[in-house]
Structure 1
C-alpha cells in the first residue's frame, strides 16, 4: 500500500517538473534554466526544455532524498509512471494491498514499448491471478503473455535489445565483487560452456577446488593471464591502490588497504597486487582522519600533480551517489573559473560529463567544506553532504547544534491532567517543572 502511494507521488512529481512549475531557486534566479544562454556559455549540446535531462535531474534528487542509487530510483520512477499512466487498475490493487509491488514492477517492465491497448489487455488477463499467485509465477505468466500478444516480430525486438549490450560490476563484502555481462543469450551460453569445459578438465585431475571455484578461476585467468598455451601476456591495466604505512607496520593482520573504485581490501591482498606494480607513489595522508594531504611528486607540472591528487582523493565522480571512475570523469572547478574560482585542491573535484551538465546548466551547486568534503544543493533546495571515501573520521564541519528546548517550557501538569493522559502520577516529566498545585476532590 505504501508502494502504491509512493508511485503516485513519484509520477506526479515528475509530471510537475516536466511542466516547468516554478521552484524557489528558479524564482530567485529567473535565468537559471535559460538553456540558450547556458549552451552558448558552456558549449553543451542541449535543447530547450530537454525532457530527458530534466527527468535525470529529478531522479538524482529523488535518489538523494530516499538514500538510494540513481539506477534504483530510475527503475522506481519508470514503474511509477507505468502504473500511473497505463496500469491504473494495478495501481489501485497496490493501494488495497491486493498485489505485491514486485508483481506490479514486472508488469510495467514487460509491457514497456508495446501499444497501450495490448498492455492493458495483459493486465486484464493476469490481474485476478496476481491476487494469490507468487511473484515468481506472475513474472513467468507476464512474460509468456507478452510474447504471445506482442505486435512486433521477435527478431526486430532482438536487434533493438542487442544495442543495450553492457558490462557492469558491483562490490560485495570482504574484498569481493560481482562482474555482470549483458549479452545475447547464445553468447552467454557459449562463454559459460567454454569455461565449464576447461574447468571439467581440471576437475578430472587431482584438483581439490570445487567446480564453482574452478569456473571462476578459469574465467579470471583467461581474461587477465590469457588462455593456456598463449605465451604473450599483456600488462594488466592500471589499478589504483593505497596502502597505509602505519597499519602495515602496526597491525598487518587486521589492517586494510584501499582499492580505487571499490574500497577496503586486506593488506595481504594489496601487497600481492603491489608486488607486480611497475612503480610506487608516496602519498601523505592524515593518520587520524584518512584525508589526503599531499602527493610525493615534485617533477610534474602543477596541473598533472593536481589531477593525480584528485584521482587519489576523490577516486570517482564526486556527484552524490555517482561512482564513475576517474577515467570517465573530468577536472571541474567547484567555483567557476569565470566567477573568480582558482585552480587548487580546495576548488577542484572530479565530475563526469553528465553531472557537469547538472552543475553548469540545471542549477546544482557544490561548496567545498574542507578535507575534500562537499555540500551539494539541488535545484529544488535539497542538500546532501558528500564525503571522500578515504575520510575515515570526518571532523565536524559546522557549528555545534543548538540544544533542544523543552516542548512547553515553564508549563506545569497537574495530577488530573496526568490521569487523563494515562501518566503515572509519580513520574517526572523531563524538562517540565511539576510545581503546579494538586487539585482537590471535586475541582473541575
Structure 2
C-alpha cells in the first residue's frame, strides 16, 4: 500500500506518484543565486523573501498538476464505472437469453419461455455469480444489475454523461432512485430536465433538486406513495468496531424525527442539570433506556435512576434489561475468571470478556459446549425424522455461526436448516448433512445450477453455473468429537466433566 506512506517533512521531498510524472515539471526548491558581497542583512532578507516566493510558486505549480491528475483519474473512474455497468447489462441479456446455464430444466429455452419466477432465479443466480467474482454480497451485485438495467434501458443520456466523466456515480445513483416508478415518457422528461443540473451541482445538491422535479412528474400523489412506503418500514442491526453496534430504524419521518427531538430535549435538560456526559452520549442512553423499559417494564430505580445509566454507573449499560434470546459463546476459563479471552456474540463476533461474564451470569439456562458436547446429545436421527430436534438444531447453529452462503453474514439462528443431501433423495437429518442457510441461499441451492460441497476440513465449496469455485471458510471454533447418540457416558468423558463446575456461571 505505497500510496498511503507517511507524508514527507517538506516540499523538497514531494515526488509525483508513479504514472503521473510531467516532463516539464519544475523543481520545488530551485537554487537561488548568492547575494552580491557587501549588501548586508537587508540584501540577505530580500534574497530570502525572493527564494520563499519562488518556492511557493513551484509548490503551487506542482499542486495544480497533481489536482489535474486527480481530476483525470476521477474521469477515468467514472468511465470505468460506466463500462462496468454496460458489461453487467450485457451479461444479464445473455443470461436471460440462455437460462439453461443458470437454472435447471431450462435447456433450449429463451427469455420468452420463462415465467416471472424462473426469470427471477436467473437474475438471482447471475447476481451471486457476479458477487462472488467481485468479492461483494449477492445483494450488492443485484443492485448493480438493477442499476445497469435502469441506466441502459431508461436513462441512456445519464450513462453517457458518466462515461465521459461529466457526472459521478453518485449523480447517476440519484437519477436512478428518483426515476423509479415513472413511466417511460415521464422518465424521458425527468432525465431531460434533471441531467443539466447534475453537470453543475454536487451530488447532495443534485439529490435535493431532482426530488422536486420528480414530484411534478409522478403519477401518484405523495400521500399514496407514503402509504406504500410505510409498508417497507424495518429495523436493521449491524456491528461496528470495538464491540459497538448500529441500530437503524426506517419509519415515517415524523415518527423518527419525534424520537430524535425527544432524545435531544432530554439530553439538553439533563446537561443543564449538571450531567457530565456529552449530549450525544445522553441522547443515545436516553433512547436505549426508553426502549429497554418499554420492552421489559423495568423501572429506572432498578438501574440507578438516571436515564440510560445501569447499576454499574456506566452510560448505555442496560444488560439487565435484555430479555430476547441470544447466543453468547464464552470460553469456560473466561467464565471461571482465569482468562480474558473474548466471548463470541452470535451474529457479531468477539465481545469484552467482562460483558460476556455478565451476560452468562444473567442467562436463565446454558448449553454446555467445550471442545466437544456431552456425548448424549442427539446429533443424528437418521431417516427417522425430517424435523430437526432442538439440540441438533442448536449444534448446527453453533457450528456454522452464520449462513453458509457466499458473502452472507446472516446469523445461523435466523437461517433455515438445509439438508445437504436432500431428504427426498435419501438424505439424513444429521449434523453432517445439515447446514444453516438463509432463505435466499437455501433457495439458490435448490432453484439454480449452483452446487455446494463440503471439504475434508469442513469448509463450504460453492461451484457456480460458469464453473467458478468459491470457498466459504468456517468462522466458528466450535468442534464436535465423533461419537454416538447414547445416554451412557464412558469413563473418560465423565472424568473430563468432573473437572468443571456444574452450576452457573461454570
TM-score by length of 2: 0.66
**Counterpart position of 2:324:** 237
Residue 205 of structure 1, CA deviation: 2.6
Higher Cα Rg, which structure = 2
In 1: Cα distance, 2:240 partner to 2:264 partner: 24
In 1: Cα distance, 2:337 partner to 2:108 partner: 57
Instruction: Note the 1:326-345 alignment, pairs <5 A.
Output: 326-345=412-431
**Counterpart position of 2:29:** none
Contact 1:281 1:296 in 2 (8 A): no
**Counterpart position of 2:359:** 273
Residue 146 of structure 1, CA deviation: 1.0
**Counterpart position of 2:52:** none
Q: 2:105 aligns with which of 4, 21, 31?
A: 31
**Counterpart position of 1:420:** none
Residue 325 of structure 1, CA deviation: 3.2
**Counterpart position of 2:22:** none
Instruction: Note the 1:282-297 alignment, pairs <5 A.
Output: 282-285=368-371, 294-296=372-374
**2:169 pairs with 1:101:** yes
* CA deviations over 1:8-47 (Å, ceiling 9, x no partner): 1112212222233443x77xxx737799xxxxxxxxxx96
* CA deviations over 1:42-65 (Å, ceiling 9, x no partner): xxxx96753223222222222111
Q: 1:4 aligns with which of 79, 82, 107?
A: 82
Residue 176 of structure 1, CA deviation: 1.0
Name the CA shift for 1:391/1:116 in 2 (closer, same or farther; >3 Å): farther
**Counterpart position of 2:435:** 349
Contact 1:333 1:347 in 2 (8 A): yes
**Counterpart position of 1:384:** 470
Instruction: Note the 1:149-168 alignment, pairs <5 A.
Output: 149-168=217-236
In 1: Cα distance, 2:379 partner to 2:158 partner: 61
In 2: Cα distance, 1:32 partner to 1:310 partner: 34
| Runs of 5+ unmatched residues, structure 2 | 1-78, 303-319, 381-388, 479-506
* Aligned-partner SS, 2:362: coil
Moved beyond 4 Å, runs of 4+? 32-35, 46-49, 227-235, 246-253, 299-302
TM-score by length of 1: 0.75
Higher strand share: 1
**Counterpart position of 2:343:** 257
Greater CA drift, 327-336 or 223-232: 223-232
Name the CA shift for 1:341/1:33 in 2 (closer, same or farther; >3 Å): farther
CA-based RMSD: 3.0
Name the CA shift for 1:33/1:327 in 2 (closer, same or farther; >3 Å): farther
Instruction: Note the 1:32-431 alignment, pairs <5 A.
Output: 50-226=118-294, 229=299, 236-245=323-332, 252-253=339-340, 255-285=341-371, 294-296=372-374, 298=376, 302=380, 303-391=389-477
| Runs of 5+ unmatched residues, structure 1 | 36-45, 286-293, 393-444
Name the CA shift for 1:136/1:362 in 2 (closer, same or farther; >3 Å): same
In 2: Cα distance, 1:338 partner to 1:34 partner: 27
In 2: Cα distance, 1:34 partner to 1:278 partner: 58
Contact 1:87 1:123 in 2 (8 A): yes
Residue 198 of structure 1, CA deviation: 3.3
* CA deviations over 1:181-238 (Å, ceiling 9, x no partner): 1111111112222333433343233321111111111211222244775899976111
Contact 2:137 2:406 in 1 (8 A): no
Contact 2:190 2:213 in 1 (8 A): yes
